Amino acid sequence: MKEVSGGITAAKGFLAAGVHVGVKSSNKTKKDVAIICSKVPAQVGAVFTTNKFAAAPVLWCREVTQNHKAKAIVVNSGNANACTGIEGYKDAEQMAVWTGQALNIPAEQVMVSSTGVIGQRLPMDVIHEGIIKASANLSENGSNAAAEAIMTTDTYKKEIALQYECCGKTITIGGIAKGSGMIHPNMATMLCYITTDANIKDNALQKAVKEAADHSFNMITVDGDTSTNDTMIVLANGEAGNPVITEGKCYEKFTNALTYLAAALAKMMAHDGEGATKLIEVHVGSAPSEKDAVLAAKAVVSSSLVKSAFFGEDANWGRIICAVGYSGAELDPAKVDMWLENEAGKIQLMAKGAGLAFDEKQASAILKERSINVLIELNMGVAEATAWGCDLSYDYVKINADYRT
């Protein structure tokens, strides 16, 4: 695999656009409506929030996904269209209808997403204007604008693309995402859109999307909140011309590439957590099962006490090991080892379940860095998992205390 430029439009046959129309009236300049489309019908795979108050666009997209075909995605930021009842669902459907009319495709081939404040109706006249404007600006160079248009409290846009070879053909996968707060996906407010020119069977695509989500977006947390709008959509239009991917080595290569790209976007979200000053990566190794490794890793990155300690640059490793202990993972406390590591060095804090004397100055140097790795070995097997998160700062509270204003 190699990373390439182009983001969501790097793959053959995809166009994108992002425009400003003023969905959130208080913002006079921010792009807030995006469209992504394939020149030909594409297979669609997707996973969505498990929050029972799933937003209206999620309900619409679940229906579209059942048909396994889609050609476009329309997204607005600034308003989540969540908890808006039957009228909110009709608004999501209308977004699909207007996009379909603009692109001359059936509304049933349009995926819809919204992100922003919960509980308010969409300003549909403004949304309509945005759809018309975005459809007129679709471009093979539109990834940057689309990535900007889906942002809410994000401080930077998140996009990536990569290529790999399969059966003599070059396959490209590109994606954009948004997410900074209300991040604790359990998919089974983050949005991710991925396009690929791979030729892949519908059930194989859905399986790969679920696997990629489980090893990326389902392994990050910012604040422990699972949004009403969490969505990951993948469109595969087959323009690479490779033999159809169903299973075997071709499926494994595709899934590995998709997972790599999804994990890269997930880490960008954790890095850009609201008010965050640290990116925390927790790797749990030698676990008896992957489930145990996942439980332990996610417990550490989700702990408010651990996150607070990292913000304070305090080597309070007891908080880390406490989270491992209550995670539900199978472990023997007398076997656990733990380290902190980054460019500033590596320091062991625990061996065989007991704390070690360590150099506080070296620990302080490690904790002052922007990225910090926590390495935990359970020494009970061969399974492993990695989770990503961020610290909990004063600014997180400030941002969310006045989110609506």
3-state SS string for the chain: CEEECCHHHCCCCEEEEEECCCCCCCCCCCCCEEEEEEEEEEEEEEEECCCCCCCHHHHHHHHHHHCCEEEEEEEEEEECCCCCHHHHHHHHHHHHHHHHHHHCCCHHHEEEEEEEECCCCCCHHHHHHHHHHHHHCCECCCHHHHHHHCCCCCCCCEEEEEEEEECCEEEEEEEEEECCCCCCCCCCCCEEEEEECCCECHHHHHHHHHHHHHCCHHHECCCCCCCCCCEEEEEECCCCCCCCECCHHHHHHHHHHHHHHHHHHHHHHHHCCCCCCCEEEEEEEEECCHHHHHHHHHHHHHCHHHHHHHHCCCCCHHHHHHHHHHCCCCCCHHHCEEEEEECCEEEEEEECCEECCCCHHHHHHHHCCCEEEEEEECCCCCEEEEEEEECCCHHHHHHHHCCCC
pLDDT given for residue 229 in this prediction? 83
Which CATH number do you get for residue 120? 3.60.70.12
Examine the fold and report which residue of 219, 241, 271 is the final residue of a domain before the chain moves on: 271
pLDDT given for residue 259 in this prediction? 96
More confident residue, 358 or 272: 358
pLDDT given for residue 187 in this prediction? 43
Burial of 199 (0-12, 13-18, 19+ CB in 10 A): buried
Mean pLDDT in the chain?
Answer: 91
pLDDT tens sequence across 266-301 = 888 877 766 678 889 999 999 999 999 999 999 999
- Number of domains into which the chain is organized: 2
Q: Are residues 186 and 216 in the same domain?
A: yes
Which CATH number do you get for residue 325? 3.10.20.340
**Of these residues, 189, 195, 259, 386, which one is catalytic?**
189
Examine the fold and report which residue of 271, 303, 320 is the final residue of a domain before the chain moves on: 271
Q: Are residues 135 and 230 in the same domain?
A: yes
Q: Is the pLDDT of residue 84 over 50?
A: yes
Q: Are residues 283 and 251 in the same domain?
A: no
Q: Are residues 291 and 172 in the same domain?
A: no
Q: Is the pLDDT of residue 10 over 50?
A: yes
Q: What does the alpha-carbon distance between residue 362 and residue 93 come to, in Å, rounded to a whole number?
A: 57
**Structural domain span for residue 292:** 279-401
Q: Are residues 156 and 206 in the same domain?
A: yes
Query: pTM for the whole thing?
Result: 0.86
Average pLDDT over residues 186-193: 69
pLDDT tens sequence across 215-226 = 988 888 755 555
pLDDT given for residue 46 in this prediction? 96
Q: Are residues 247 and 289 in the same domain?
A: no
Q: Are residues 240 and 302 in the same domain?
A: no
Q: Is the pLDDT of residue 4 over 50?
A: yes
Q: Are residues 284 and 220 in the same domain?
A: no
User: In sequence order, which residues have a C-beta less than 8 Å from that of residue 283 and are 6 or more positions away?
Assistant: 297, 373, 374, 375, 376, 384, 385, 386
189 pLDDT band (50/70/90 cuts)? Answer: low
Examine the fold and report which residue of 227, 244, 271 is the final residue of a domain before the chain moves on: 271
More confident residue, 227 or 139: 139
Q: Are residues 186 and 124 in the same domain?
A: yes
pLDDT tens sequence across 21-77 = 999 877 778 999 999 999 999 999 999 988 888 999 999 999 999 989 999 999 999
Q: Are residues 156 and 68 in the same domain?
A: yes
Burial of 183 (0-12, 13-18, 19+ CB in 10 A): buried
Q: Are residues 266 and 283 in the same domain?
A: no
Q: Are residues 301 and 228 in the same domain?
A: no
Specify whether 189 is catalytic.
Answer: yes
